[in-house]
Amino acid sequence: MKLLNRSLLYLSVTFLVIIGIWSVIFYFNIKDEIRDSIDDGLDNNKLLILQKTKTDPSLFFQDEFSGNNFEIHPISKQKALVFRDLYKDTLMYRLNENDLEPVRILHSAFEHQDNYYHLKVISSLIEEDDLIEDSFWSIIWLFLILIASILIVNNIVLGKLWKPFYDILERLNTFRLDKDEASLMIPTKTKEFIQLQQASNALFRHSKKAYISQKQFTENASHELQTPIAIIINKLELLLESEYLNENDAKSIAKVISIAGRMKRLNNSLLLMAKIENKQFLDVKTVSINKITKEFLTHYKELTEYRQITVQFIETKQCSVNMNNALSEILISNLIKNAIFHNKQHSNITIKITKQEFIISNQGETNSLDSKLIFNRFEKDASKTNSTGLGLAICKTICNAYASDISYSFSENQHSFKINFKNITSRD
Partner 1 sequence: MKILVIEDEIELQNIIKTSLLKEQYTVEVASDYYAAQEKITIYDYDCILLDIMLPNGSGMNLLQELKKMNKSGSVIIISAKNSVSDKIKGLELGADDYLTKPFHIAELTARIKAVIRRNNLDGKNYIELGNIVLHTQDRTLTINGNLIHLNRKEFDILYYFLLNKNRLITKTALAEYVWGDHIDESDNFDFIYYQIKNLRKKLDNAEASIIVDTIYGIGYKLSEK
3-state secondary structure of 85: coil
Minimum CB separation from partner 1 for residue 250, in Å? 4
Q: Which of 163, 264, 294, 344 binds partner 1 (CB under 8 A)?
A: 264
Q: Which is nearer to partner 1, 63 or 283 (CB)?
A: 283
Q: Contact between 212 and partner 1 (CB under 8 A)?
A: no
Q: Which is nearer to partner 1, 63 or 305 (CB)?
A: 305
Q: Which of 209, 285, 301, 346 binds partner 1 (CB under 8 A)?
A: 301
Q: Which is nearer to partner 1, 91 or 326 (CB)?
A: 326
Q: Which is nearer to partner 1, 151 or 236 (CB)?
A: 236
Stretch that binds partner 1, among 37-45, 126-134, 259-267, 397-405 (CB under 8 A): 259-267
DSSP class of 425? B
Q: Which is nearer to partner 1, 43 or 329 (CB)?
A: 329
Q: Which is nearer to partner 1, 2 or 223 (CB)?
A: 223
Stretch that binds partner 1, among 91-99, 124-132, 169-177, 267-275 (CB under 8 A): 267-275
Minimum CB separation from partner 1 for residue 261, in Å? 5
Q: Which helix (H) or strand (E) holds 321?
A: strand 320-323
Q: Which is nearer to partner 1, 309 or 353 (CB)?
A: 309
CB 352 within 8 A of CB 314: yes
Q: Which of 328, 333, 362, 397 binds partner 1 (CB under 8 A)?
A: 333
Q: Which is nearer to partner 1, 333 or 363 (CB)?
A: 333
The separation between CA 233 and the C-alpha centre of its own chain, rounded to angstroms, equals 55
Q: Contact between 138 and partner 1 (CB under 8 A)?
A: no
Question: Residue ranges of the alpha helices (H) in 343-379?
Answer: none
DSSP class of 157? I
Stretch that binds partner 1, among 105-113, 160-168, 188-196, 327-335 (CB under 8 A): 327-335
Minimum CB separation from partner 1 for residue 423, in Å? 24
Whole-angstrom distance, CA of residue 280 vs CA of residue 262: 24
Q: Contact between 388 and partner 1 (CB under 8 A)?
A: yes
Q: Which of 73, 261, 295, 400 binds partner 1 (CB under 8 A)?
A: 261
CB 132 within 8 A of CB 27: yes
| Secondary structure in 3-state letters for 301-331 | HHHHHHCCCEEEEEECCCCEEEECHHHHHHH
Minimum CB separation from partner 1 for residue 408, in Å? 19
Residues 395, 400, 405, 406, Cα dihedral to 10°: 20
Residues 208, 210, 211, 217, Cα dihedral to 10°: 150
Whole-angstrom distance, CA of residue 396 vs CA of residue 376: 9
Which residues are within 8 A (CB) of 39 and not within 5 positions of it... i.e. 6 or more apart?
87, 104, 106
Minimum CB separation from partner 1 for residue 420, in Å? 24
Q: Contact between 337 and partner 1 (CB under 8 A)?
A: yes
Minimum CB separation from partner 1 for residue 222, in Å? 6
Minimum CB separation from partner 1 for residue 374, in Å? 17
Minimum CB separation from partner 1 for residue 286, in Å? 18
3-state secondary structure of 188: coil
Whole-angstrom distance, CA of residue 7 vs CA of residue 24: 26
Considering only residues 214-253, where is the footprint of partner 1 by CB under 8 A?
A: 219, 222-224, 226-227, 229-235, 237-238, 240-241, 247, 250-251, 253
Strands 310-315 and 348-353, sheet pairing? parallel
Whole-angstrom distance, CA of residue 30 vs CA of residue 139: 15
Stretch that binds partner 1, among 106-114, 184-192, 332-340, 406-414 (CB under 8 A): 332-340
Strand partners, 359: 352, 418
Burial 102-115 (b: 16+ CB within 10 A, else e): ebbbbebbbeeeee
CB 147 within 8 A of CB 15: yes
Q: Which of 213, 216, 258, 318 binds partner 1 (CB under 8 A)?
A: 258
Q: Which is nearer to partner 1, 164 or 391 (CB)?
A: 391
CB 346 within 8 A of CB 308: yes
Whole-angstrom distance, CA of residue 192 vs CA of residue 371: 48
How many helices (DSSP H) and strands (DSSP E) are in the chain?
11, 11
Q: Which is nearer to partner 1, 53 or 343 (CB)?
A: 343
Which residues bind to partner 1, rule: CB under 8 A?
219, 222-224, 226-227, 229-235, 237-238, 240-241, 247, 250-251, 253-254, 257-258, 260-262, 264-265, 268-269, 271, 283, 301-303, 306-307, 326, 330, 333-334, 337, 341, 384-388, 391
